[in-house]
Chain A
Amino acid sequence: MQFLLQIALAGLAQGSLFALTALGLVMIYNASAVVNFAHGAMGMAATYVAYVLIARFEVPFALAFAAALVAAFVLGAVVQALFLARLRDAPLLSQVVVTLGLFMLLEGLVGIAFGYNPRPMRESIAIAPVILGDLVLRPQDVLQLALLLILGVALAAFFAATKIGLGMRAITENTYAARLIGIPVGRLLAIAWGTGVALSAVAAVLAAPTTSVTPNMMDTIVVYGFVAAIVGGFGSMAGALVGGLILGVVVNLIDAFLAPELAMSIVFGLLLVVLYVRPDGLFGRAQVQKV
């Protein structure tokens, strides 16, 4: 029982990374109807900002983390304004293709600049693990879960009460109508992309001590982020959050009791079953296609 609880705990901690990635994906998807295949690569690129600041300039972790988030926000906003905005009227396939191209471009460029050798990143907080009865709580795990909950609440408040958040919901509902009533659609899309990519960067920087800093450090996490978003209905932020946490536990159960080498295969098998039974995810509502 205690073993199971420990696995569940590790799963929730790992799942919080999937959830953070998925939240960013859904935010971008809701704003622009684009699935951002460069999501993980953009978070990875921002992590290199933190890495360089810490390793070369000995900047404190919190400051480097903040710098990575700013870099991620700028990267997301610039990509939206430079590339996606031009493709507003292009077929959806072109928009997805461009994000895939960006994924390859970013991973390749970082690979050329830094090489593919993994570089170590220290744990973000250096305090001893907390013992809670029979359970061991790693401070890193607590930090991940705490950040996910704080950001989840902040995002809910953002969409419920701020003018920018309400404007984004209007864009999700009907972009054309939003433009007509004077919502600055272009600027809000850039903000949504920036914020979404910043969420990916939060996951990437938190993952770095475990995955090490490499050009493909986010590849696995972002694929699980996709799965979490689909399970959550791709469009629901709460669904993405819960989906990520569930997935984290599932992956840790597979690692412990089945075959860790086949974790992703088993997850995709389960995803096919979920999609077969509920095509709009566990938490999604059926969508009617608008013509």
Chain B
Amino acid sequence: MSRRLVIAILVACAVLPIAFQALGQRQVYWLFVISEFYVFAIVAISLDLLMGRSGQISLGQSGFVALGAYTAAILNQRFNVDLPLGMLAGAVTAAVASLVLGFPATRLRGHYLGIVTLGFGIAIDQIALKWDALTGGDQGIHLHRPALFGLDAGTPVRMYYVALVALVVTVLLVRGLTQTRIGRAFAAIKDSEVAAAAMGVPVARTKVLAFFVSAFLAGAAGGIYAFLAGFVAPEDFGIESSLLFFAMVVIGGMGSIPGAIGGAVVVDAVKNAAATVSGLSLALLGGMIVLVVLFFPGGLKALLRPRGARRARRHAPKGVVRQDA
């Protein structure tokens, strides 16, 4: 994506709340929808880091989001912990959980990971529902009004900016990470674990690290979500939402930050537009995933790429896969 386009999008996002004032009462709703979308985009980027960059699959990403959200909510409810610390604690909790899960899982062949992460997502959901002394069961937890370094952050406009800044920071972090030695190790493992091992990449450790960073980001997103919604309950984090995050990454085109964000736009739009007919959004997203894999393996990111690059790609020798930033 060109620098000018990125700046234009950023400026548009920054002034959006001002434009929304014209909506009157409904601006609160729309600000929430878009703030929520920013949080989802962070999760999509975290999942893309795992799937698109290091070639591992996770079908339980919402489990990490739930851990982050519940950690922030419980700390806030009991100890009045605020947004920055709550978010950090959520991120750390999710990251630690990823180690427990990642060590046995990454010793295994790829498809086991899909199944184990699926089970993890289901387990977190069941435990949140069952352990009501801690999580409030199906009643959920209400949070206190968030504050940011002593300032009241509880207005929809302020939470909007919190979510936007978090998304921008996530993009910069992941972008930076992919350009380091670690990022290249992720890419090497994705292409071929055996070749990566032969080149001296510690395969198991690198896979666990990808899992760790991905869970950290998803947990942080969960922490922000808890403060944004002001309420946390198990139904927000079921297996369905894991599938939504998965759809975002696939439809966006794996291994690309603009792709993950674009995928989040499409999935969030389909989810909200098709909410009235049960099954419709599931069928649409499933159909889109199948079509993308069969006919547009690059996903949205291939469409977002500037024209010249696309032409160069068309003439590139077959079988050569390009890694895009």
Q: Which single member of B107, B118, B250, B282 contacts A279 (CB below 8 Å)?
A: B107
Determine which of B193, B283, B293 lies in contact with A104 in the assembled complex, contact meaning CB atoms within 8 Å: B283
Q: Are B114 and A96 closer than 8 Å at their CB atoms?
A: yes
User: Are A96 and B57 closer than 8 Å at their CB atoms?
Assistant: yes
Closest-by-CB residue of A relative to B122 is: A264
**Which A residues fall within an 8 A CB radius of B?**
35, 37, 83, 86-87, 90-94, 96-98, 100-112, 115-116, 215, 219, 223, 226-227, 230, 234, 259, 261-262, 264-265, 267-269, 271-272, 275-276, 279, 287, 289, 291
Q: Are B283 and A108 in contact (CB under 8 A)?
A: yes
Which partner residue on chain A sits nearest B283 by CB separation? A108
Report, nearest first, the 4 A-B pairs whose CB atoms are least far apart.
A111-B279, A108-B283, A104-B286, A101-B289
Closest chain-B Cβ to A42's Cβ sits at a distance in Å of: 13
Cα separation A268 to B129 with both chains bound (whole Å): 17
B130 at interface (Cβ–Cβ under 8 A)? yes
Of B116, B127, B254, B283, chain A has the most CB atoms within 10 Å of the CB of: B283
**Chain B, range 287-312, C-beta contacts under 8 Å to A:** 287-290, 292-294, 297
Query: Are A35 and B297 touching (Cβ within 8 A)?
Result: no
Q: In the complex, what distance in Å separates the CA atom of A178 from the CA atom of B232?
A: 54
Contacting pair B194 A289 (CB below 8 A): yes
Among B114, B254, B279, max chain A CB count under 10 A is at B279
Q: Check if B112 is an interface residue, CB within 8 A of chain A.
A: yes
A102, B127: Cβ atoms under 8 Å? no
Contacts of A271 in B (CB 8 A): 116, 119
Whether B282 pairs with A107 at a CB distance below 8 angstroms is yes
Contact A93 B101 (CB under 8 A): no
Partner of A268, one of B123, B246, B281, B289: B123
B104 lies within 8 A of A272 (CB)? yes
* Cα separation A112 to B290 with both chains bound (whole Å): 18
**Nearest chain B CB to A113's CB is how many angstroms away?**
8
Cβ-based interface call for B169 (8 A): no
Contact B55 A265 (CB under 8 A): no
A124 shortest CB reach to chain B, Å: 27
Whether A94 pairs with B293 at a CB distance below 8 angstroms is yes
Measured between beta carbons, the chain A residues less than 8 angstroms from B45 are: none
Q: B55 contacts A101, CB within 8 Å?
A: no
Q: Which residue of A lies closest to B60 (CB)?
A: A268
B205 within 8 A of A: no
Size bin of chain B's contact surface: 35 or more
Complexed CA–CA distance, A230 and B286 (Å): 26
**Interface CB pairs A-B, < 8 A, 29:** A83-B294, A91-B55, A93-B51, A93-B110, A98-B293, A98-B294, A101-B290, A101-B293, A105-B289, A107-B282, A107-B283, A108-B280, A108-B282, A108-B283, A108-B285, A110-B279, A115-B278, A116-B279, A223-B118, A223-B119, A230-B112, A261-B126, A268-B122, A268-B123, A269-B123, A271-B116, A275-B112, A275-B116, A276-B103
Complex Cα distance A94/B49, Å? Answer: 16
Cβ B297 vs Cβ A98 within 8 A: no
Could you say which residues of chain A place their CB within 8 Å of the CB of B115? 35, 223, 226-227, 230
Give the complex CA separation of A31 and B88 in angstroms: 46
A77 to B290, CA, bound (A): 17
B interface list, Cβ under 8 A from A: 51, 55, 57, 59, 101, 103-105, 107-112, 114-116, 118-120, 122-123, 126-127, 129-130, 193-194, 239, 243, 246-247, 250, 254, 277-290, 292-294, 297
Q: Judging by beta carbons under 8 Å apart, are B243 and A104 in contact?
A: yes
Contacts of A261 in B (CB 8 A): 126, 129-130
User: Are A92 and B283 interface neighbours, CB within 8 A?
Assistant: no
Contacts A109-B279, A261-B130, A262-B127 known; A103 to B57 CB distance under 8 Å?
no
Which residues from chain B contact A86 at a C-beta distance below 8 Å? 294
| Set of chain B residues within 8 Å of A268, measured between Cβ atoms | 116, 119-120, 122-123
A108→B286 contact, CB < 8 A: yes
Q: How far is the CB of B260 from chain A (nearest CB, A)?
A: 15
Give complex CA distance A287, B285 in Å: 36
Residues of chain A within 8 A (CB-CB) of B122 are 223, 264-265, 268
How near does chain B come to A289, taking the closest CB pair, in angstroms?
Answer: 6
CB-defined contacts of A227 to chain B, threshold 8 Å: 115, 119
Which residues on the B side are within 8 Å of A94 (C-beta)?
Answer: 293, 297
Give the chain A neighbours of B278 by CB distance below 8 A. 111-112, 115-116
A261–B128 CA distance with the chains assembled, in angstroms? 11
Contact of A105 among B111, B193, B250, B287 (CB under 8 A): B287
C-alpha spacing A271/B254, complex, angstroms = 29
Q: Is the CB of B277 within 8 A of A279?
A: no
Shortest CB-to-CB span from A270 to chain B, Å, is 10
Q: For B282, what are the chain A residues with a Cβ–Cβ distance below 8 Å?
A: 104-105, 107-108, 111
Q: Is the CB of A276 within 8 A of B104?
A: yes
Find the A residue at minimum CB distance from B290.
Answer: A101
Q: Closest CB of chain A to B70's CB: distance in Å?
A: 15
**B-chain residues with CB within 8 Å of residue A90 when the two chains form the complex:** 293, 297
B126 touches A264 (CB 8 A): yes
Known: A101-B286, A234-B111, A289-B194. 15 other contacts (CB 8 A): A86-B294, A93-B110, A93-B254, A96-B110, A103-B286, A104-B283, A108-B280, A108-B283, A111-B282, A112-B283, A223-B119, A227-B115, A261-B130, A264-B123, A272-B104
Instruction: For B294, give its contact among A87, A107, A264, A275 (CB under 8 Å).
Output: A87
Q: Report B-chain residues with C-beta under 8 Å of the C-beta of A98.
A: 289-290, 293-294
- Considering the chains assembled together, what is the distance between the CA atoms of A46 and B59 in angstroms? 25
* Distance to closest chain B CB from A105 (angstroms): 3
